Amino acid sequence: MSALAIPALALAQRSVAALPALFADLAGRSPPAEIVRLDSTGYAEEGKGAAQYISDGLCDEALLAAHPRCCFRTANGRIFRLFASDGRITVEQTGAAGDGIADDRETIQAAIDYAEATRAREVVFEAERYAIHCPVRTSPLSAKHAVDGHPLVVRRSLGLRGAAAARTVLDFKGIGGVDPERNWQTIAVSESDPSDAVWRGGGLFVLGELSDPAPAPRRVARLELDRLVFQGNRANTGVFSYPADPATGDGWDITDKAFWLQDSYAGEIVLTDTDMIGWKGEIFYLGGAGGAIERLTLRNCRFLTGNGSAFNPGVNAVLLAEDCEFGDCYQAQEDTAKSRATYRGCLWRDCDHAGLGGGPTGDFRYHIVYPSRDEAQPLPLTVLDDCEFRNMNQVIFSSWVQGSIRTIDAPVHVNGDQSMRVTDIDLSIDAWLDQANNINALALVGVSSLSQQVPGAPAGTFKEPPSHVRFRIRHFRSELAKREGRQWRGPAWFGYIGKSCRIETEGDFASQHTPNGGAAPLSMPLVSAGPGEPTTLYTSHGYYIPGVYTENGEIMPAGPLMAVAVGSDIALDMNIARWPAGGAEYGFAEGQKLRLAKTDGQGSIRFVKGQSPASFAVNETRVLAAAHDWIEFTYNGNIGRWEESGFFSSV
């Protein structure tokens, strides 16, 4: 060989060393020191998972040992690692098949782990479907931060993004690829309790710091999920008891959360165009200390189908949800509320109930459902903007909820006994009756007594009546409901309720319940009934009738519109109760209207001017004798008296 041939041969060898090849073949190369980048034509097959690999300061023995799917040692001893072009790596670059059949869990987790180790910005899914098998759990159920048994785990800031034409489906299976609806693992409850507990493992487990690292930034400062479908393959069987039955696997499986972050700290979580469908536990779950999450943003997401809660963001994060859907579960939403939560154009549907409101959860006072706030901070608010609740037994609101909603076959329920203290609600409701029948658009339930101890509170701390609560309700019936003769019951209230509460109604309402608190209410919010058509002709006016009077006595106001009747052809002198059974403190509000209408021409009811006790005042003695005669009073709260404000008689 001539001296001239030696440089040419060296150049040729260097050129060969730099030629692209499959990932596995690159390790057989001996690139000289000046070559710091090698290209692959694919991971295991040509054109699938092509990537660039670099040799830089991060390439050490520890990185090679921890990430063998992303690093390799060349024949001449150099270490190269996967280069995240534009801050992105794909799961194909770690060997994912992406055919929806082969188990890609290990390859996807390898991509996540490597991205976190090298601070890559996101992991991309190029195919339309990936099968993910649940790994075996060896830790007991009580080891809530153990990562074994979780299909996918994220520990640092990262984006997970689908890049196929349609949203990428992550198809979660049981151990070995079995059907997770019919197959599950049983594990010990705890180290000291070997009882069997069901383990399905869920989908994505997020593990941040176990204590707040402030003032340092959080390790999971931002987590993004985009254009993904977490397909759990679990059904809503209608069995909502928990924990799940180890023998049948059915029930509310608290180990089966599609998105799971519990008792660790993270910054901002953002989900866009992402669905999570078919899980046995809380489909989306955040739980822990009040500041465990700083912000949660959801846009065009769906959390559907399961035996537990569709959505449980149970931490005090600033929350924004737009065009999202929650339902086909036991609970569409389970939440102890936020300092600030905004829902725009969202839908909750097909469940037993949904619950929103309640105030910050950071250092909850006494009990998790007892609303608490730092009164030196701004008013905590859950704002609902053009949101819909459909086909559920109850829409449950607690404190600090404002906005406008539409309900379809879904009664709103506010319960002071359950929430222990309800305050600052301001909601406009368009209530539609379609396939349901004989339901209330609203039930405002106060406390049943004034001496109910708050659980966990010092002795003598009692549940408080609802206060500063306002509802504006427009009743509608669909064409189907009208044709089938389906009826509304009017809004109702029960128990002790503060005088600062208000219910305004209009539209199609049920005549025998035009809103009322029963024959002898303990209290009465300020109630008004606007124009509307009664849907049951219980009386000629469609007003609530508490009974037929047979002797002189007292009329207890139980709604703004009441019908009165006499049992025989006699004249009765009637009084009007100055306040409800609960007393003056929980009595009638200033400006409350009361219209009394005679149902027929039998007998008469007389209101005598100057009658004692002076609980009412008329301009002159008034007599309701003929059918449809009426008198209207307005309540003067300053002196506790009903004062005549209108009268009509055809006699």
Q: What does the pLDDT read at residue 611?
A: 81
Q: What does the pLDDT read at residue 563?
A: 83
- Residue 460: partners with Cβ closer than 8 Å, 6 or more residues away: 453
Quick check: helix, strand or coil at residue 81? strand
Q: Is the pLDDT of residue 537 over 80?
A: no
Q: What does the pLDDT read at residue 9?
A: 44
> Which of the two residues, 440 and 226, has the higher pLDDT score?
226
Q: What is the pLDDT of residues 144-201, one digit of tens each?
A: 999 999 999 999 999 999 999 999 999 999 999 999 999 999 999 999 999 999 999 9
Instruction: Supply the pTM of this predicted model.
Output: 0.93
Distance CA 298, CA 273 (A): 8
- Residue 497: partners with Cβ closer than 8 Å, 6 or more residues away: 416, 444, 446, 465, 466, 469, 522, 523, 524, 525, 586
Q: Is the pLDDT of residue 13 over 80?
A: no
Q: What is the pLDDT of residues 202-256, one digit of tens each?
A: 999 999 999 999 999 999 999 999 999 999 999 999 999 989 999 999 999 999 9
Q: What is the pLDDT of residues 41-50, one digit of tens each?
A: 999 999 999 9
Q: Is the pLDDT of residue 484 over 90?
A: yes
Distance CA 117, CA 109 (A): 12
Mean pLDDT, range 478-493, rounded to an integer: 91
Q: Band of the pLDDT at 545, cuts 50, 70, 90?
A: low
- Among 475, 601, 627, 599, CA closest to 537: 599
Q: What does the pLDDT read at residue 362?
A: 58
Quick check: helix, strand or coil at residue 444? strand
Distance CA 133, CA 95 (A): 16
Q: What does the pLDDT read at residue 364?
A: 67
- Give me the phi and psi of 106, to 5 degrees please: -65, -40
Strand 152-154 and strand 158-162: the pairing is unpaired
Q: Is the pLDDT of residue 585 over 80?
A: yes
- With a pLDDT cut of 90, the percent of the chain lying above it is 78
* 327 beta partners: 304, 349
Distance CA 325, CA 49 (A): 35
Q: Band of the pLDDT at 539, cuts 50, 70, 90?
A: very low
Q: Please name the amino acid found at residue 607.
A: F
Q: Is the pLDDT of residue 469 over 90?
A: yes
The CB-side HSE value for 442 (13 A sphere, CA atoms) comes to 31
For the beta sheet containing 79-82, the strands, ordered from the edge strand earlier in sequence to the opposite edge, are 21-22, 37-42, 51-54, 79-82, 71-73
Q: What does the pLDDT read at residue 538?
A: 41
Distance CA 299, CA 170 (A): 19
Q: What does the pLDDT read at residue 547?
A: 67
Q: Band of the pLDDT at 513, cuts 50, 70, 90?
A: very low
Q: What is the pLDDT of residues 260-291, one digit of tens each?
A: 999 999 999 999 999 999 999 999 999 876 67
Distance CA 114, CA 343 (A): 35
Q: What is the pLDDT of residues 73-118, one digit of tens each?
A: 999 999 999 999 899 999 999 999 999 999 999 999 999 999 999 9
Q: What is the pLDDT of residues 175-186, one digit of tens each?
A: 999 999 999 999
Q: Band of the pLDDT at 408, cuts 50, 70, 90?
A: very high
Buried b (16+ CB within 10 A) or exposed e, 148-174: ebbbbbbbbbbbbbbbeeebbbbbbbb
Q: What does the pLDDT read at residue 373?
A: 82
- Among 622, 599, 598, CA closest to 609: 622
Mean pLDDT, range 297-304, rounded to an integer: 98
Residue 585: count of CB within 10 angstroms of its CB: 12
Of 33-42, 502-511, 613-622, minimum mean pLDDT range: 502-511
> Which of the two residues, 224 and 358, has the higher pLDDT score?
224
> Which of the two residues, 6 and 318, has the higher pLDDT score?
318
Q: Is the pLDDT of residue 592 over 60?
A: yes
- Among 187, 280, 198, CA closest to 232: 280
Q: What is the pLDDT of residues 380-394, one digit of tens each?
A: 999 999 999 999 999
Of 14-18, 283-287, 499-503, minimum mean pLDDT range: 14-18
Distance CA 125, CA 225 (A): 11
Q: What does the pLDDT read at residue 540?
A: 41
The CB-side HSE value for 611 (13 A sphere, CA atoms) comes to 23
Q: Band of the pLDDT at 612, cuts 50, 70, 90?
A: confident
Q: Is the pLDDT of residue 18 over 70?
A: no
Q: What does the pLDDT read at residue 541?
A: 45
The token pair at 148 is 């074994």
- With a pLDDT cut of 70, the percent of the chain lying above it is 93
Q: Are 555 and 576 in contact (CB under 8 A)?
A: yes
* Vertex 340: Cα angle to 336 and 341 (nearest 5): 70
Q: What is the 3-state secondary structure (H, E, C) of 587-645?
A: CCCCCCEEEEEECCCCCEEEECCCCCCCCEECCCCEEECCCCCEEEEEEECCCCEEEEE
- Among 226, 268, 294, CA closest to 88: 226
Q: Are 595 and 545 in contact (CB under 8 A)?
A: no
Q: Is the pLDDT of residue 564 over 80?
A: yes
Q: What is the 3-state secondary structure (H, E, C) of 498-560?
A: CCCCEEEEEECECHHHCCECCCCCCCCCEEEECCCCECCCCCCCCCECCCEECCCEEECCCCC
Q: Is the pLDDT of residue 474 over 90?
A: yes
Q: What is the mean pLDDT of the chain?
A: 91
